[in-house]
């Protein structure tokens, strides 16, 4: 991707690294996250106009603490260290960092003592900031000076003006620092002299050019799920190369109600794309028969998808590329700070597991975009709001929302209940205000009374959560009247359900999905 200007974010294991990158993009400047051990030459080759060192869980004086290539400070471009990044900057340049007698976590008041362009546009010399550190700077290196402090931290903002190096002990990227975005903008636009040219129009123009150059006259196949990422990827590639793209849509029998029809009508109908539809319902359900372990279900679904997709893609003669809707969080969450796979919470069903003997080159046109950017791209490409703003849906589909073994009868119950949930959420205006809203069918039956007759039917749980990124979530406090109506509709219209419960668990400790 030919990006005009960018800021490099070196990730030292901070939970906020993605948030830093997002804040930079809000300034209309492209951002890219690099591993902490990336070389100075790699940063220089990326064309970055500035560098931000993230926070992290380590202490700079500990053995084995991640240390950047010191040559990044000699590239002649501005550097901003945040929290651990500030302490690294101080240590590398000869200052002193030690464990603090008084740790500082939470809100603090920053007192700005010196004028500097990093503070441009701030409403006053005192500002609320968010601290999270147990170490502190005891002395500054030569050439550095303090610009601001708190009651507990003398060197809360530092700089070396001659070398355009800055350090912040607090976190400007979090919402708990109300004016933090202004500081990040000042660094990007004033200190680094970025013009702010990053937008979807320029991205589309550059992407179309790059896709055409990479593919030439070769064909590309894409596994279309109907979700946001694969749909947007399909629309973008279609804009670039049209009929050179073939989308393969596999119905695994675990889809939402009428999902297959909607996908065919939109992509084969409205967009006139080459679409291969494969109904593999029987093979998926046969392999899932009797399997109750959620991780095992995911693996079976993933493996079967690979088998079906490989068979169908092999039939597309002349295809030399495999396209995926991989997004930036997928890329940077795939490995941990030490380069090892992150701790397993649940495996992900993705075309990325396709065997190497397919001999297809990978095309991932969304791999530098965050989710909100993908949605905006979809709008620019003419996708309907129903697709662009669709809530996350798990790759293994309804199999992970049916607790226990998947079978046609229970899937039909869950599919009908799910359709009512989505319909009512949209009708009452709650769907686009929440992160996810769905039903979970439990392997539990309870006694009920319907029409003076005793019933013994399934329990259905409603899971409706609010979140900004899916990393944390809280259950949605929807009106009782709405929940009562939703429960009544499900019990009255879905045969096999006689009780509805509402999940009040946040994430953490729970996950959003039940399996």
Residue from 83, 192, 194, 247 carrying the catalytic annotation:
83
Residue 45's pLDDT is 94
Q: What's the token pair of residue 350?
A: 């993705």
In degrees and rounded to multiples of 5, residue 212 shows phi and psi of -65, -40
Burial label for 471, CB within 10 Å (0-12, 13-18, 19+), is middle
Q: Is 171 a catalytic residue?
A: yes
- Residue 220's DSSP bridge partners are 245, 321
Q: What's the token pair of residue 234?
A: 């399909």
Q: Please state whether the peptide bond connecting residue 413 to the residue before it is cis, i.e. omega within 30 degrees of 0.
A: no
In degrees and rounded to multiples of 5, residue 437 shows phi and psi of -140, 120
Residue from 27, 104, 133, 171 carrying the catalytic annotation:
171
The residue assigned the tokens 């069918």 is 441
Model-level pTM?
Answer: 0.76
Rg (CA), the chain: 26
What CA–CA distance (Å, rounded) separates 18 from 328?
Answer: 9
In degrees and rounded to multiples of 5, residue 81 shows phi and psi of -100, 130
- Of the CA atoms within 13 Å of residue 253, those in its CB half-sphere come to 21
Q: Which helix (H) or strand (E) holds 377?
A: helix 371-380
Residue closest to 123 by CA, chosen among 70, 53, 182, 173: 182
Residue 333's pLDDT is 53
DSSP letter, residue 353: G
DSSP letter, residue 402: B
Residue closest to 202 by CA, chosen among 19, 373, 385: 373
In degrees and rounded to multiples of 5, residue 168 shows phi and psi of -125, 130
In degrees and rounded to multiples of 5, residue 33 shows phi and psi of -90, 130
Instruction: List per-residue pLDDT tens for the chain, 515 residues long.
Output: 445 789 999 999 887 888 899 899 999 999 989 999 999 999 999 999 999 999 998 999 988 999 999 999 999 999 999 999 999 999 999 999 988 777 667 899 999 999 999 999 998 889 999 988 778 899 999 999 999 999 889 999 999 999 999 999 999 998 889 999 999 999 999 999 999 988 899 899 989 999 999 999 999 999 999 899 999 999 999 999 999 999 999 999 999 999 999 999 999 999 999 999 999 999 999 999 999 999 999 999 999 998 999 898 888 888 999 999 988 777 755 444 444 333 333 333 344 445 556 678 999 999 888 888 999 999 999 999 999 999 988 889 999 999 999 999 999 999 999 999 999 999 999 999 999 999 999 999 898 877 667 788 999 999 999 987 777 889 999 999 999 999 999 999 999 999 999 999 999 888 899 98
What CA–CA distance (Å, rounded) separates 113 from 271?
Answer: 59
3-state helix, strand, coil in the chain (%, to 5): 35, 25, 40
What CA–CA distance (Å, rounded) separates 309 from 365?
Answer: 20
Residue from 5, 27, 104, 173 carrying the catalytic annotation:
173
- 3-state secondary structure at position 18: helix
Residue closest to 153 by CA, chosen among 95, 183, 115, 108: 108
DSSP letter, residue 20: H
Q: Classify strands 79-82 and 50-53 as parallel, antiparallel or unpaired.
A: parallel
Q: Is 83 a catalytic residue?
A: yes
In degrees and rounded to multiples of 5, residue 127 shows phi and psi of -145, 150
Residue 15's pLDDT is 79
């Amino acid at each position: 991707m030919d990006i005009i200007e960018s800021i490099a974010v070196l990730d030292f294991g901070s939970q906020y690294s993605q948030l830093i990158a997002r804040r930079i993009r809000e300034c209309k400047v492209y951002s890219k996250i690099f591993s902490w051990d990336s070389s100075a030459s790699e940063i220089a080759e990326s064309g970055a106009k500035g560098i931000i060192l993230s926070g992290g869980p380590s202490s700079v004086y500990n053995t084995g603490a991640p240390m950047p290539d010191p040559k990044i400070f000699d590239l002649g471009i501005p550097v901003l260290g945040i929290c651990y990044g500030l302490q690294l900057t101080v240590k590398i340049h000869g200052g002193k960092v030690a464990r603090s007698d008084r740790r500082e976590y939470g809100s603090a008041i920053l007192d700005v003592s010196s004028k500097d362009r990093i503070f441009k546009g701030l409403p006053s010399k005192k500002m609320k900031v968010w601290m999270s550190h147990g170490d502190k700077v005891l002395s500054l290196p030569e050439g550095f000076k303090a610009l601001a402090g708190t009651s507990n931290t003398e060197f809360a903002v530092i700089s070396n003006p001659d070398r355009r190096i800055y350090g912040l002990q607090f976190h400007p990227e979090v919402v708990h620092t109300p004016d933090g975005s202004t500081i990040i903008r000042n660094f990007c636009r004033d200190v680094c002299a970025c013009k702010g040219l990053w937008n979807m129009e320029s991205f589309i123009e550059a992407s179309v050019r790059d896709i055409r150059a990479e593919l030439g006259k070769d064909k590309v196949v894409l596994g279309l799920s109907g979700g946001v990422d694969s749909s947007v990827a399909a629309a973008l590639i279609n804009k670039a190369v049209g009929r050179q793209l073939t989308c393969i849509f596999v119905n695994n029998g675990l889809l939402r109600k009428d999902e297959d029809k909607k996908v065919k009508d939109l992509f084969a109908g409205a967009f006139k794309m080459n679409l291969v539809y494969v109904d593999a319902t029987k093979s998926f359900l046969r392999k899932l028969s009797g399997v109750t372990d959620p991780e095992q279900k995911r693996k079976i679904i993933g493996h079967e998808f690979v088998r079906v997709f490989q068979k169908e893609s092999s039939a597309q003669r002349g295809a030399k590329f495999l396209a995926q809707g991989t997004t930036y969080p997928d890329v940077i969450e795939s490995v941990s700070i030490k380069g090892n796979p992150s701790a397993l919470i649940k495996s992900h069903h993705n075309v990325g597991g396709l065997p190497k003997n397919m001999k297809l080159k990978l095309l991932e046109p969304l791999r530098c975009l965050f989710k909100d950017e993908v949605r905006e791209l979809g709008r620019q490409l003419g996708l309907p709001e129903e697709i662009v703003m669709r809530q996350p849906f798990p790759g293994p589909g309804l199999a992970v929302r049916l607790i226990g073994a998947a079978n046609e009868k229970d899937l039909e119950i869950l599919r009908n209940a799910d359709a009512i949930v989505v319909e009512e959420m949209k009708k009452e205006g709650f769907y686009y205000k929440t992160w996810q809203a769905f039903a979970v069918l439990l392997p539990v039956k309870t006694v009920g009374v319907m029409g003076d007759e005793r019933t013994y039917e399934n329990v259905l749980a409603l899971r409706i959560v609010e979140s900004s990124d899916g990393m944390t979530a809280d259950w949605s406090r929807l009106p009782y009247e709405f929940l009562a109506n939703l429960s009544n509709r499900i019990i009255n219209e879905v045969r096999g359900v006689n009780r509805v419960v509402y999940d009040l668990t946040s994430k953490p400790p729970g996950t959003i999905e039940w399996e």
